[in-house]
Structure 1
Amino acid sequence: MASQANPRLMFAILAAVFAFLYVPISVLVALSFNDGGLPTAWTGFSVKWYGALFRNGDIMSAALNTLIVAIVSTVLATLFGTLLAIGVEIRRRKGRFLETIIFAPMIIPDIVLAIALLSFFSLLNVTMGLHTVILSHVVFNLAFVCSVVRARLKTFDWSVVEASADLGASTVTTLRRIVIPVLLPAIVAGGLLAFTLSVDEFIIAFFTAGAGRSSITLPMQIFAMIRFGVTPEINALATLIMAFSVVALALSQRLNRGGLPGQ
């Protein structure tokens, strides 16, 4: 009896946890198709709020800013994060303290990192704007890309690098023709993760964006909208962001397990 009770209890706990996590999300998705203007009362099925969402100039402007920040910060974070991962892996026996410093942004609360970046920019008298948000997101995403690429490097056979050097290949050639192709799935996975985190990130962008609408990102726009009450447009916007994040993270996990799709 005990052996039968334990699996049932575990299943009940698991079901309760998943219900706690996903029932509110399911309600939000359902209400994004609500015909009525009230975001909490179902009056019929409609997709009109998605149309209203794309006709909202403020949201579209914030979405464009978010894409700019996410794309630029992802490219920079992926480039520097990959090189950093290779350098740290090569020097892993020479400095554990270096790893602690690199991965600190993953451990430090976002609010602390945001205040630190704000203080740093203020100390340098840097005018806040979209460029400071991009730099802040690069700092934030760098550790995540580095950790993903380093996970791939754990199984990398460094003897092929030595063989390449013995055959007369330069460091750049070895990196371009041997190391990068092997690390490509992890690099893409790290880039997708960085892009998703950048799209969803709010606290750091809020502290480093400065004044004016020209640097408002999508999470900041959502925050400004919900201060005056939740509308069906916000439900539709949250549904689209969530769907995009789930797809990007799933693809990132798929790539990080090894190999590009179809390989």
Structure 2
Amino acid sequence: MNQAIGVIDSGVGGLTVAHELMRQLPRENLIYLGDTLRCPYGPRSEDEVKQFTWEMVDFLLHQDIKMLVIACNTATAFTLNELQTQLSIPVIGVINPGARAAIKSTKHNHIGVIGTEGTIRSNAYTEALLGINANIQVSPLPCPLFVPMVEQGILSGHKAEDIAAKSLEPLKAKNDIDTLILGCTHYPLIKDTIQTIIGSEVTLISSSEETAREASTILEFNDLLNGGRETPAHQFYTTGDMAMFAKITEGIFRESSDSFQSVMIEKAIISNP
């Protein structure tokens, strides 16, 4: 099955998931769409997030994808169940894989979760964690300044550390947190900065590896793995600034690419009920 895996995100953060998919599934073709023009999704209403997500999904469905990966925590929180019900292809998000990885990591059963306002407001991580282990203590914290910082290319340095210190201050007061879920796919891009502020004794959890592992399992179970030996062809689309998108993409993948394209996505043909 040489059809591509479709990956959507509100911006550049989902590229961390795309990178891990490419590492674990080197024969698979990927089509990535980042809605950088309307990023961030976190402060938006649930209805807006659903509409924007369906517009991205509609674009990728017209590319004949065989699987959809929602590489955005906010979009996962608000649309995963709906998309899984209405689409005929496998659909996975990033919240459940991240929750499972955090449960495996924690020693004190106290897990912190940072994310966008929308993700934290949805309680999706808290529900996922408690659904696995009812004895887990969860401390969620919205960090609305992180996504705009990443989208502007501010990934390290004094300014990034100042923003991180201010944002993470409430969690630093909770001394027994030993595991912190990076509940937004933008956050691994500032992982080193977050680690510096939160302390080396706290394990940071990114859902990218677990999400890619789940994608691999589902593709194999459904006999959808690409058995061809040709070099995969990846496509990267953005709705916003091409220069910044290309710069961050090349920083993640450590190589340049000519497969970047700017695209306008119109109102979804498939709309949520």
**Structure 1 length as normaliser, TM-score?**
0.24
Q: Counting strand residues as a fraction of each chain, which structure ranks higher? A: 2
Structure in which a larger fraction of residues adopt helix = 1
TM-score (ref. length: structure 2): 0.23
